[in-house]
Amino acid sequence: MGFGDQLAQYVVSGLTTGAVYALVALGFCLIYNATRVVNFAQGDFLSLGGLMAYSFLIGAGLPMALAFPLAIVAVALVGALLERLAIRPARSRQVMVLIFITIAASILMRGIFKHLWGKQALALPPLSPETPLHLLGATFTPQNLWVLAITLVAIVALIWFFNRTLTGKAMRATAINSSAAALMGIDAHRMTMYSFALAGALGALAGVLITPITSLSYNVGVIIGLKGFAAAVLGGYGSFPGAVVGGLVLGLIESLTAGLISSVYKDAVAFVVLLLVLFLRPGGLLGVKGRDRV
């Protein structure tokens, strides 16, 4: 295999994980824009998506076309419940406290997942049979294509939702100025709950797509979630286009450094990128330049 082929290979795998980081990063952005909270349970949405899909598919014997959408809806409900039962009743509106509520929820959720699904690794089948495909010297599986295609569809659907539907516009209005939105008769609590539900759905989608490639366990989402967070910062925290660009760029950087330099520090690369962005360009690639100073 020549260098060019290798490079193509790294690009394909980088874009695949990058697409998943993008989905996770979008989830972070949604909740951040609605509440200014960094939702540390985002990675657990991903785990739960994979686990639910596994149970619907293997446990209940449902067909894939039913099991996967059901898993996504179920996690969306969990997201909505998180907002309704933990964020909304919180006595303090301090962002710091709210962030730690999501961390506590994350610990609780992982405990429940471990209890229900066990500690062992599970296997979720890919969306279509694993016949390797060849393109430009790169060998990849149909799952790589599925990840990229479905991520693209999800992004287009989000754009449509936020620009063309009343609920989507109301959510944007709430994110921009929640008191002004409330004066216009928008139920800000409800919009925040929708943001959590949508973030849950995106996390679950990422889980259904990536766990056939990685593996599935109760805590698979922790590291992917943190890398999705790094991707969101890289793109410009809170920016939707930024989340997509950040995810793809981070996936590529990770895959290329692992392939061309060394895979030993693969898990550190994303966070080195995170630190560099914060030090050099805290607004991110597509974020606002020159953030407010104190």
Partner 1 sequence: MSAQGKKFFGYLAALAAVLALLPLVVTNPYYLNVLNVVALNVLVVTGLNLLIGYAGQISLGHAAFFGLGAYISGILSGSYGWEPWTALLAAAVVVAVVALVIGLPTLRLEGNYLVMATLGFNLIVSVLMVQLDDITGGPSGYTGIPSLSFFGAPIATDLSFYWLAWGAVLVGLILARNLVHSRVGRGLKALHEAPLAAAASGVPIEAYKVKVFVVSAVYASVAGSLYAHYYGIITPATFDIFKSVELVTMCIVGGMGSLWGGLFGAALLTPMPQLLAVVEEYKDIFFGGILLVLLIFLPQGLVGWLEGKRVRPGGRAF
Positions touching partner 1 (CB under 8 A) are: 36, 38, 86, 89-97, 99-101, 103-112, 114-115, 226, 229-230, 233, 237, 264-265, 267-268, 271-272, 274-275, 278-279, 282, 291-294
Shortest Å distance, C-beta 176 to partner 1: 17
Nearer to partner 1, 102 or 144 (CB): 102
Task: Give the span between the Cα atoms of 214 and 17, in whole angstroms.
Answer: 10
CA distance 26 to 43: 12
Q: Which is nearer to partner 1, 140 or 229 (CB)?
A: 229
Q: How far is the CB of 141 from partner 1 (least distance, A)?
A: 28
Q: Least Å distance between CB 156 and partner 1?
A: 29
CB of 61 to partner 1, least distance (A): 28
Q: How far is the CB of 220 from partner 1 (least distance, A)?
A: 16
Strands 138-140 and 133-135: antiparallel
Secondary structure element (H or E) that encloses residue 139, with its range: strand 138-140
N- to C-terminal Cα distance for the chain?
Answer: 54
**Closer to partner 1 by Cβ: residue 119 or 184:** 119
β-pair partners for 85 = none
The tokens of 119 are what?
A: 């500690």
Residue 47 CB, nearest distance to partner 1 (Å)?
A: 13
Q: Is the dihedral of CA 123, 22, 29, 276 positive or negative?
A: positive
CB closer to partner 1, 66 vs 112: 112
CB of 112 to partner 1, least distance (A): 6
Read off the amino acid at residue 280.
L
Judge contact between 77 and 235, C-beta under 8 A. Answer: no
d(CA 190, CA 193): 5
Length of the chain: 294
**Residue with Cβ nearer partner 1 (72 or 101):** 101
Tokens at 84, concatenated: 């309704």
Q: Is the dihedral of CA 188, 194, 199, 202 positive or negative?
A: negative
8 Å CB contact between 159 and 152? no
Nearer to partner 1, 6 or 219 (CB): 219
27 DSSP assignment: H
Q: Nearer to partner 1 by C-beta: 70 or 230?
A: 230
Using the minimum distance from each CB to partner 1, give the nearer residue, 26 or 233: 233
The rounded distance, in Å, linking the Cα atoms of 23 and 213 is 16
Three-state SS at 91: coil
Question: Least separation, in Å, of the C-beta of 23 and partner 1?
Answer: 20
